């Protein structure tokens, strides 16, 4: 698939109200992957997590304006939600732009408003019930709001994360997703390479040749094929008709 695949701007929201599921790790490496994949297009990372991890890691590797820090929390909601809305609308008004939005954990609150500014909601979760149960509850709330608003977006894509490299049975997470409107993405298992690259973050080059690198490439291509290309939009449009 060529760079021409991304003709319509897309915003990918990486979120889960459950903490510790690898949101920032996926955000920075997927942003890196998409920048390598679409060299002639603008791939902007917007970090809304007050901790600012994604921004801190990616700012030294980004062009001016390609990474933004707009923390959304109890102290910031009004101002930065309004700013974020404006930033995303401007980005999405221009064809070929891609935005990746990182978020913190916590109550749903204004969180759902962030998600509904985006085309796709990428939800990382481990397969442990402690992570999976609140994740499914979160997606159910998103489904309810989509129903209330009669919206088919954001499309929910669940990424099994921190999965054992030897894991072959994904039936528990497949069964859990039957309760919600979501699709399953390729899993990420090997995170040690990503951890070892900190604090001197060197992006994909720093994890070259590792299982983690191969898994990020596979997940990135999945997003290119189904999200960036607009395939999910077409599938859901056909389902709605």
CATH of the domain at 142: 3.40.50.300
pLDDT at 79 over 50: yes
Rounded to two decimals, the pTM is 0.89
Is the model more confident about 3 or about 154? Answer: 154
Q: What's residue 153's pLDDT?
A: 92
d(CA 209, CA 205): 9
Write the DSSP symbol of residue 151: -
Tokens of 221: 């291509």
pLDDT at 28 over 90: yes
Predicted confidence band at 155 (pLDDT cuts at 50, 70, 90)? very high
pLDDT at 178 over 70: yes
Q: What's residue 50's pLDDT?
A: 87
Q: What's residue 115's pLDDT?
A: 83
Return the biggest CA–CA distance within the chain.
49
Average pLDDT over residues 37-48: 91
Residue pair 62/118 in contact (Cβ under 8 Å)? The answer is no
Task: State residue 183 phi and psi, 5-degree precision.
Answer: -120, 160
Number of domains observed in the structure of the chain: 1
DSSP string, 53-98: HHHHHHGGGS-TTSEEE---STTTHHHHHHHHHHHHHHHHTSTT-E
Separation in Å, CA 152 to CA 27, 124, 172: 23, 20, 26
Q: What's residue 219's pLDDT?
A: 96
pLDDT at 5 over 60: no
Average pLDDT over residues 115-126: 90
Tokens of 73: 């929390």
pLDDT at 198 over 70: no
Give the number of other CB atoms < 10 A from CB of residue 24: 23
pLDDT at 168 over 90: no
Predicted confidence band at 221 (pLDDT cuts at 50, 70, 90)? very high
Tokens of 10: 């897309």
Residue pair 55/62 in contact (Cβ under 8 Å)? The answer is no
d(CA 34, CA 136): 27
Residue pair 100/46 in contact (Cβ under 8 Å)? The answer is yes
Q: What's residue 78's pLDDT?
A: 63
**Domain that residue 120 falls in:** 3-240
């Amino acid at each position: 698939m060529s760079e021409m695949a991304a003709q319509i701007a897309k915003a990918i929201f990486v979120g889960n109200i459950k903490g510790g599921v690898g949101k920032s790790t996926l955000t920075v490496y997927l942003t890196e992957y998409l920048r390598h994949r679409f060299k002639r297009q603008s791939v902007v990372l917007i970090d809304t997590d007050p901790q600012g991890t994604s921004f801190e890691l990616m700012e030294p590797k980004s062009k001016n304006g390609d990474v933004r820090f707009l923390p959304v929390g109890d102290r910031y909601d009004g101002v930065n939600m309004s700013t974020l809305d404006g930033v995303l609308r401007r980005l999405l008004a221009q064809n070929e732009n891609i935005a990746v939005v990182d978020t913190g954990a916590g109550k749903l609150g204004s969180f759902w408003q962030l998600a509904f500014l985006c085309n796709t909601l990428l939800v990382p979760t481990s397969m442990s019930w402690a992570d999976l149960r609140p994740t499914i509850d979160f997606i159910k709330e998103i489904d309810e709001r989509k129903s209330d608003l009669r919206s088919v977006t954001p499309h929910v894509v669940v990424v099994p994360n921190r999965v054992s490299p030897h894991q072959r049975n994904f039936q528990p997470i497949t069964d859990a997703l039957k309760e919600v409107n979501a699709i399953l993405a390729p899993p990420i298992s090997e995170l040690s390479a990503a951890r070892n690259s900190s604090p001197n973050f060197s992006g994909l080059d720093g994890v070259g040749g590792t299982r983690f690198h191969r898994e990020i490439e596979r997940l990135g291509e999945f997003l290119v094929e189904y999200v960036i290309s607009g395939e999910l939009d077409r599938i859901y449009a056909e389902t709605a008709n």
